[in-house]
Structure 1
Amino acid sequence: MQNNIQNNLISWYNQNHRHFPWRETNNPYYIWISEIMLQQTTTEAVIPYYIRFIETFDTIDKLAQAPLEEVYKLWEGLGYYRRAKHIHETAKFIVENYHGQFPTTYQEILKLKGIGPYTAGAICSIAYGFSTPAIDGNVLRIISRLYALTDNIALSKTQKKISQIVSELLTGYDASAFNQGLMDLGATICRPLNPQCQQCPIASFCKAKQTGQEKVLPISIKNIKHKELQYITGIITYQNQYFMVQNPAGLLENLYGFVQYEIESPYRFIEEFEKEYDIPLSLISYHGQVKHVFTHRTWHMHIYHFTLSQPLLSMYELDDIAKIPVSTAHLKVLKQYLKQI
């Protein structure tokens, strides 16, 4: 076998690849679900979610017919819940437009809601064997080092350049093994810090290694604006029931949580609540604060317990809360409250 980047990487992958349940199939539906779950989430965390999800919805038709709340409940704890909404909408779209069969071309797959170039490329190469690049952070890092690219990989023009390089490398080779080989290489050997070059199957081709830049590259400078938000979050109870609301469109859409306002005082909270719900509250106690970090914002949630003199709609006992999809941020709030009562 010719000694080149492609053959060395594919041979290494075939002998050393990590074993995950989604790698035991070439079903494009299952691969799609795994790729969406793996966005912003570690492989170890995804495994039990993936298994439960596929056991519950083993076909696109079953997913399309399920209530959205059931999908959210299975997704609970994975975060980035818009992903769950998108796969539910996309499943319905596939049933209506493709008779429940997953599309078979890159362009059709790319048009599906929630699917970008990386996910479309991964599905096409792994499920169908097409020579389509799947460019994620691991691939950007590996190619940047392999070719000693000093361009900022956070820029779209650099990502396009790297995509073209990978497209050329893929042609005529096992696209599934090559793309997944890059994924595993980046996760286990060509890591962001302290790459394990002595274990790398393509180190002899790496220009960064040859020039002593393997611990410098890639250059990745992102311009991210991060918000710090302060909330009063209310645990509002009537006897043994908790008042919870379902979030509107936007962040944490359709998930349940406690009422919270971006204000500076629990007494202001009472005023805002009475304006919105036309019922008085009694302030009982303070229960500390919980911090929850999103990609572009951090919530500082100051927890206060309030009581109602009469029940409202949307009151839940603890057993009921366990059955509805609740955001991770607000599950933290509930845990903090319960450990103090």
Structure 2
Amino acid sequence: MQNNMQHKLITWYQENHRHFPWRENENPYNIWISEIMLQQTTTEAVIPYFKRFMETFDTIDKLANASLEEVYKLWEGLGYYRRAKHIHETAQIIVEKYHGEFPNTYEDILALKGIGPYTAGAICSIAYHQSTPAIDGNVLRIISRVYLLKDNIALNKTQKKITDIVKELLIGYDSSAFNQGLMDLGATICRPINPQCDICPIQSHCLAYAKNQQKVLPINIKNIKHQEIHYTTGIITYQNQILLIQNPAGLLENLYGFIQYDIESPYRFVEEFEKQFHIPLSIVAHIDDLKHVFTHRTWYMHVYHFIINVPIEHLYTLDEIEKLPLSTAHLKVLKAYLKSREF
């Protein structure tokens, strides 16, 4: 038993695991928040956000009773703001349906908003020590290499095959240590590029290593259409105030940002603005050209400074803006504008 892959991986994890604030206890609430934050975000970037978030909302009840704007403000800079909205909604569901206690079955956890199979599996295995797989990119890569799977891991059928393999591997073992061991192994040793096979604790079980295919696998070919959009983005000021609008449903929902139009000229921007707001607009200067990459689209923002001569709704001072949740893309715009004022 002590020579099998599970035992070697668990022993390695217990001796070498990475230390994170969300690993200090097995509280399902902490694990849930950390796993949602870690989606599309590095562990190093998440740590300060996680600490601030948990200091402010140390219970699910506090999170549920907060305003969405408060949650967004603490999320500011992490991106993918729909995650924050789902966290807020899910906290309210947990308070209403489960009296503030995090549910403890895979099915109930999976039914919560914003929680998929990986996150549900991670919570069940780490918080409740249930034998549930937690299949993320690290696990797909490791199992693909260990079992010399030449199937495309971007396909659902391959992911199901790997899930079934991990289910079998978990039987009779500490699911928390095993699943987290896979996470840490993938992050530190069995990396996508140049895996460190010479120090891998399960090297002797890896068929890809035996066949010298560890730098080929996994096969991960995604067919994703990426959209590029060019905006003219307007920093519109009135005296010492800046015009910001709150985004409607969709991308960057409920976050604040600058007005921008999918047009090619600041003079067209003036026309569109006057058509929408019925207020004259004057061009002051070109500020910068900025780029912001989302998962499936890229924004190219051609930023100009405009002024209006009469006050309207949604004007904010810089002190007021500091309290508003801005999208990361438009934080770049604000910083470019403030930098231009230094000269």
Question: Does the TM-score normalized on the shorter chain lie above 0.5?
Answer: yes
- 1:331 corresponds to: 331
Residue 243 of structure 2 aligns with an amino acid whose one-letter code is F
Corresponding letter in the other structure for 2:71: V
Report what 2:35 is aligned to: 35
Partner of 1:211: 211
1:8-39 CA-to-partner distances (Å, cap 9, x unmatched) read 00000000000000001111011100000000
Q: Report the alpha carbon displacement of residue 267 of structure 1 after superposing the two structures with TM.
A: 1.0
Instruction: Name the structure 1 match of 2:59.
Output: 59
Segment drifting more, 77-86 vs 310-319: 310-319
Q: CA RMSD in A?
A: 0.6
Moved over 3 A (4+): none
Q: 1:1-341 counterparts in 2 under 5 A?
A: 2-341=2-341
What percent identity do the matched residue pairs reach?
75
Q: Distance in 2 between matches of 1:118 and 1:230?
A: 35
Q: Distance in 1 between matches of 2:180 and 2:97?
A: 30
Deviations along 1:56-99, whole A, 9 cap, x unmatched?
00111000000110000000000000000000000001111000
Q: C-alpha deviations, 1:237-285, integer Å up to 9, x for none?
A: 0011000000000000000000000001111111111111111101111
Give unpaired runs (5+ residues) of structure 2.
Answer: none
Instruction: Give the CA deviation at 1:324.
Output: 0.5
Once residues 56 and 240 of structure 1 are traced to their aligned partners in structure 2, the CA distance between those partners, rounded to angstroms, is 31
Instruction: In structure 1, list runs of 5 or more residues that go unmatched.
Output: none
Deviation at 1:299, TM superposition (A): 0.2
Deviation for aligned residue 1:115: 0.4
Distance in 2 of aligned mates of 1:44 and 1:92: 29
Distance, in Å, in 2 between the alignment partners of 1:334 and 1:92 is 33
Q: Report SS of the residue matched to 1:339.
A: helix
Deviations 1:97-137, CA, capped at 9 Å, x for gaps? 00011011000000000000000000000000000000000
The CA distance in 2 between the partners of 1:255 and 1:154, in whole Å, is 32
Looking at structure 1, the residues matched to 99 and 276 of structure 2 have their Cα atoms a distance apart, in angstroms, of 45
By how many angstroms is 1:192 displaced? Answer: 0.3
Which amino acid in 2 is paired with 1:43? T
How far did 1:187 drift? 0.2
Distance in 1, Cα, partners of 2:130 & 2:62: 28
CA distance in 2, matches of 1:69, 1:337: 24
TM-score by length of 2: 0.99
| Cα separation, 2, equivalents of 1:287 and 1:41 | 29
